[in-house]
Amino acid sequence: MKKKGGGSQSHRWIVLDSTGQEIVLDVDKYAIMHRVQIHARDLRILDPLLSYPPTILARHGAIILNLEHIKAIITSKEVLLRNPLDENVVPIVEELRRRLKPQIDHREANGDGSSHIGEDDYPFEFQVLEVALESICSFLSARTIELETDVYPSLDRLSSKICSSNLERVRKSKSEMAQLTARVQKLRDELGQLLHEDGDMAELYLSRAAMPGDENDVDEVEMLLETYYMQIDDTLNKLTTLGKHIDNANAYVRIKLDKDRNRLIQLDLILNTGNLCLDISSLVAGIFGMNIPYTWNTNHGYMFKWVVISSGVFSSLLFCIIMIFAYCKGLLGS
């Protein structure tokens, strides 16, 4: 189906069903809504142009998934994956093919060509949900490992040498870590919210049209969600630990810079004090060195030498007194 006149833009989807059949569709949103019987407001969750948090939503016999790059609609018999040629979606399609193939072979071996899922079989929607959760958890975990690989050497370099390039590298890593932490936190919150509500978990069991009171169905969904909740929680803990290391490094840098700043202030105090004392000595020497006739200066030219020496000694004593006073008041020292 192609876009017509005032129609909506078509998008590519791949459809895989429980019998192993798959097709690629280039359809608009209205065709998708008709195929899986969902409302436009629910389909809007999968719009890449709109910013939605991670979502696992059960609606009218379908599960809507919006997990980073994974945008899918799952029913009890098929899954529709958006943008199947995306590099992050291709492995999901391959994994679904791999997991569905043993079931297809089993049906063929038993001469059963139906797509019915047996009572003891793992429901089709759970298989797809498991692949999606496994993929997104692995994706976020891999990003965390990459970030750790970049951050720790950067922190070591910053600890050994504080310079603008090392600071910028750590600052960039901190920004990336904050963004990744927010993504992981949102997914963790979504899984936690589902685990908190038995009714929401039961609605995910599309094959049996489970009701909130069906404890067995809820337990099965709960085990699936808890597995990946623990994985994403572990990833979040790694990021939290990484964040603490970065914060500690930043605190160390601030302390080091404060210490260097204090040393510069101390040096400035010493130089200013020394300059003041030299100015006093220079002032006295300048006054007595001027060619002005003094009555007491007659036949006493040697006095200039002692004036200069005395002013120098006085300036040195004054400098020492000021330095001792500054040290006692804590203005000098480490």
Give every strand in the sheet of 78-82, ordered side by side: 22-27, 11-17, 78-82, 70-74, 62-67, 55-59
Q: What is the pLDDT of residues 134-185, one digit of tens each?
A: 999 999 999 999 999 999 999 988 888 888 888 889 999 999 999 999 999 9
The answer to whether residue 127 scores a pLDDT higher than 80 is yes
Secondary structure letter of residue 331 according to DSSP? S
pLDDT in tens, 71-111: 999 998 899 999 888 898 999 999 998 887 766 555 555 55
CATH domain 1-86 topology: Lipocalin (2.40.128)
Q: What is the pLDDT of residues 128-148, one digit of tens each?
A: 999 999 999 999 999 999 999
Confidence of residue 304 (pLDDT cuts 50, 70, 90): low
217 vs 317 pLDDT, higher one: 317
The residue among 310 and 221 whose pLDDT is bigger is: 221
CA dist 121 → 15, 127, 305 (Å): 21, 10, 110
pLDDT tens per residue across span 37-51: 888 888 888 887 777
- Annotated domain spans of the chain: 1-86, 258-328
- Cβ distance 137 to 125 under 8 Å? no
Contacts (Cβ under 8 Å, ≥6 apart) of 237? none
| Tally: H helices and E strands in the chain | 8, 6
Q: Please measure the distance between the N-terminal and C-terminal CA atoms of the chain and give it in whole angstroms.
A: 76
Rounded Cα distance between 63 and 68, Å, is 16
The yes-or-no verdict on residue 117 having pLDDT over 60 is no
State the residue for tokens 């006085």. Answer: 314
> At 111, phi and psi to the nearest 5?
70, 20
Tell which wins on pLDDT, 301 or 151. 151
- The string of DSSP codes covering 268-294 is HHHHHHHHHHHHHHHHHHHHHHS----
Q: For position 111, what pLDDT does the model report?
A: 57
Q: What percent of the chain has pLDDT over 70?
A: 82
